[in-house]
Chain A
């Protein structure tokens, strides 16, 4: 089946630093979604991307849908302590059909030192 390679697995940064993480795949996806999950909670949608080449921002977060449709990155600028959590990328296939499903990366654990 489809697989996503998400990197890095974990990051330890100082407050105020910028963060970048990415996902790559050998398969093409129709959508890319980025989620953040806090301990004991469900994933919360951060950014959704629907078109190849699309660059979208949500506050300090910026994500891009790779032009080849096989990759995406998420940047967080000026990190703050509440950015701590696990970030998941997810690729969606057959977005308009009944066979649509998300494939998740393994997650990036972000730790921000105040």
Chain B
């Protein structure tokens, strides 16, 4: 299947700092990328959807100025958590989807996740 990577796999930062998480589709062009967060023992919650070359669409309740998303190319999306606070500590997972190329149409593939801990 299609491969999606994330970097870093875990990060610890001080409150007030910003953290950038990268998501890459390694063997297909991702026309759409998604960012989720997951709290312990809970399901995935969609934060935002980004289509290559356009602004991200944020889900209700997600602050777009706090969670900056950039999808500058068909293989890379970044999520920047600005001025992070302890309540932002979570497991962040990206996902990619393609309507062309190697990935099956409409199927969504997930990265391995990034564990963010804000002290």
- Identify which of A12-20, A59-67, A72-80, A101-109 touches chain B: A101-109
> Given that A98-B51, A101-B34, A107-B43 are contacting pairs, would A44 and B110 also be in contact in the complex, using a CB cutoff of 8 Å?
yes
Q: Within the assembled complex, what's the spacing in Å between the Cα atoms of A98 and B106?
A: 11
> Given that A98-B51, A100-B32 are contacting pairs, would A43 and B46 also be in contact in the complex, using a CB cutoff of 8 Å?
no
Q: Within the assembled complex, what's the spacing in Å between the Cα atoms of A44 and B99?
A: 19
Q: Does B70 contact A (CB under 8 A)?
A: no
Nearest-neighbor residue (CB-CB) of B51 within chain A: A98
A105 to chain B, nearest CB (A): 7
Q: State the majority secondary structure of interface residues on B.
A: strand
Q: Within the assembled complex, what's the spacing in Å between the Cα atoms of A39 and B110?
A: 14
Nearest-neighbor residue (CB-CB) of B92 within chain A: A42
A88 contact set on B, CB distance < 8 A:
43-44
Interface residues of B (CB under 8 A from A): 1, 4, 6, 32, 34, 42-44, 46, 49, 51, 91, 93, 95, 97, 99, 104-113, 115
| Extra pairs beyond A42-B4, A106-B42 (10, CB < 8 Å) | A33-B107, A42-B93, A45-B108, A48-B107, A88-B44, A90-B108, A95-B105, A102-B34, A102-B46, A104-B44
